[in-house]
Structure 1
């Protein structure tokens, strides 16, 4: 465990240096990051306190500074040891304190980049503009997100660990499901398996739905009792050190209908088409085109306008990685590169309302996509 902590800490130091290099290239004096994912990537702060404002100030040269609540000092001082921490009280003028720090870092005429794609930016943008009338305001969005797209070998190992936990969770849910079993009983077994396997609380809770609620994208279990002939969905993710590996499987209580089995087969085939197109040098739109072509040939309909998105570090309320999501959709010119990790998704329905949702965590290797979640992709009949 200590070796893992030390390796993560060493990588974070290198990441800060890389951000500072990007700041110098862009003529930015100080970049400010406020999304939990970016702060964790650079500072290593993994906890549930991100509901309040955090601001990580990274100067082009010098020591980064993290502003967060004073209440959180014990956690931050233990976890974020390579970042200078400044605590604020709940009644303090945080923007004024940040402005004072920025003036000390780069003077009144600084070129300041704020993370505009973060929901927390609204809390400091206007006050900082008022407090720093001579500053030039730029956007730091994308600086860290671009770096996060390519996973290091260390990060890939964390995601592989999360993938094993995802498989354990899906297996536990499928084994628990059956005639007369309630959705929340299935959920309890999924959580038991997740915690027993060493998993942490994921960005999204497991999405466990059945029958007519399968079409609801982000709802989860109820007390509904499963019955023979019902379809059900398990979409979830294991989480290790904030790294996620989402996956989903569709199942049937008892034997499935011939149409449901056919839909599952089409889903698996489209999934494989997307995987085979996921090669370094291809565009995200190329992957989507290969996937969509099979759906068109099979005369089924996609519930989503994309067939996946990049994943890795995430905090509640999502496992999608926060702002700056890169999806595999028809208009995307994002180039696929070795080291990217995707949640590859095929969610389809037919003309009589049957749904099949299949997804996996996929790594882009030198020669193409590789499944990190490897359970059977057929329709689970339990």
Structure 2
């Protein structure tokens, strides 16, 4: 554990240096980050206290400063050891305190880049502008997100560990399902397997749905009993050190109809076409084109307009990495590079009422993409 913490600490120091280099290139005196993903990436803060304002101030030179509620002091002193911490009380004027610190760091007329793509920006933008009218405000959105796109070997190790937990969760869920078993019983076993395997609480809860709710993208279990002939879906992610590895499988209670097996075959083939196309040097749109060509040839309809998105660090309420999602869609010019990790997915429906959702966590290596989640991609029957 000490070795892991040491590696993480060294990586964060390098990330802060890179942000500072970008600030100097752009003429930014201080970059301010407010999303939990970016603050974790740069400062190592892993907690649930981000429902209140927290802000990481990264100067072009010098030590970063973290503002957060005083009640979080024990957590921050233990986790965020590479920053200066300023705690505030609930009745403090936080904007004024941050403005004062910005002046201290960069003078009376600082050039400040705020993270405008963060939901927390609404808590700080207008008050900070009012408190520091002499500043020039820019945008820090995308600085850390672009860095987070390419995973280091250390980060890949964490996601591989998360992927192993995803497999354990999927196998447990499918193995528990059966005639007369409720969705919430399946969910309970998925959580038992996740926690027993060492997993953290993920950004999304496991999505567990059956029959007519298969088409709902972001709902999860009910007390409904599965019966023989029912299709059901599990989409979930293991989580280690806030790194995620999503995957999904579709299954049947009892024997699946032939039409569902046919749809599963198409889904699997399109999935593999996308995997084969996902390699360094191509664009995201090229991957989408290869995937879509296989679906078009089979006359089935995709539920989504993309076939995946980048994943890595995430906090509730999502595993997509917070703001700045990069999807594999038809108009994306994002270049594919080694070290990227995607939630690669195929979600399709046919004219007979069948649905199939198949997804995996995949790593882009120099020679192409590889599956990190390993559970069989054949249509499961339990």
Q: Which residue of the partner structure matches residue 143 of structure 2?
A: 143
Q: Which residue of the partner structure matches residue 228 of structure 1?
A: 228
Moved more, 47-56 or 152-161: 47-56
- Residue 244 (structure 1) shift: 0.2
CA distance in 1, matches of 2:262, 2:53: 49
TM-score (structure 1 length as normaliser): 0.99
Map residues 51-70 of structure 1 onto 2, 5 A cutoff: 51-70=51-70
User: Which structure 2 residue ranges, 5 or more long, are not aligned?
Assistant: none
CA distance in 1, matches of 2:13, 2:365: 25
CA distance in 1, matches of 2:144, 2:8: 16
- Residue 129 (structure 1) shift: 1.2
- Residue 367 (structure 1) shift: 0.9
Q: Which residue of the partner structure matches residue 120 of structure 1?
A: 120
CA distance in 1, matches of 2:101, 2:208: 47
Query: SS of the residue aligned with 2:188?
Result: helix
Aligned length: 382
Q: Which residue of the partner structure matches residue 264 of structure 1?
A: 264
Map residues 225-374 of structure 1 onto 2, 5 A cutoff: 225-374=225-374
User: Which structure 1 residue ranges, 5 or more long, are not aligned?
Assistant: none
Query: SS of the residue aligned with 2:17?
Result: helix
2:186 pairs with 1:186: yes
- Residue 34 (structure 1) shift: 0.1
CA distance in 2, matches of 1:160, 1:353: 35
CA distance in 1, matches of 2:259, 2:288: 25
Query: SS of the residue aligned with 1:46?
Result: coil
CA distance in 1, matches of 2:174, 2:101: 53
CA distance in 1, matches of 2:133, 2:314: 35
Q: Which residue of the partner structure matches residue 23 of structure 2?
A: 23
> Per-residue displacement from partner, 1:308-365 (whole Å, max 9, x unpaired)?
0000000000000000010000000000000000000100000122100000000000
CA distance in 2, matches of 1:220, 1:231: 14
CA distance in 2, matches of 1:135, 1:81: 29
Q: Which residue of the partner structure matches residue 46 of structure 1?
A: 46
CA distance in 2, matches of 1:108, 1:348: 56
Query: SS of the residue aligned with 1:321?
Result: coil
Contact 2:348 2:355 in 1 (8 A): yes
Q: Which residue of the partner structure matches residue 167 of structure 2?
A: 167
- Residue 92 (structure 1) shift: 1.0
- Residue 42 (structure 1) shift: 0.3
Q: Which residue of the partner structure matches residue 104 of structure 2?
A: 104
CA distance in 2, matches of 1:267, 1:240: 29
Provide runs of 4+ in structure 1 moved above 6 Å: none
CA distance in 2, matches of 1:54, 1:128: 13
- Residue 258 (structure 1) shift: 0.1
Query: SS of the residue aligned with 1:308?
Result: strand
- Residue 130 (structure 1) shift: 1.4
Query: SS of the residue aligned with 2:51?
Result: coil
CA distance in 2, matches of 1:57, 1:128: 13
Query: SS of the residue aligned with 2:313?
Result: coil
> Per-residue displacement from partner, 1:101-122 (whole Å, max 9, x unpaired)?
0010011211110000001011
CA distance in 2, matches of 1:165, 1:172: 10
> Per-residue displacement from partner, 1:187-230 (whole Å, max 9, x unpaired)?
00000000000000000000000000010000000000000000
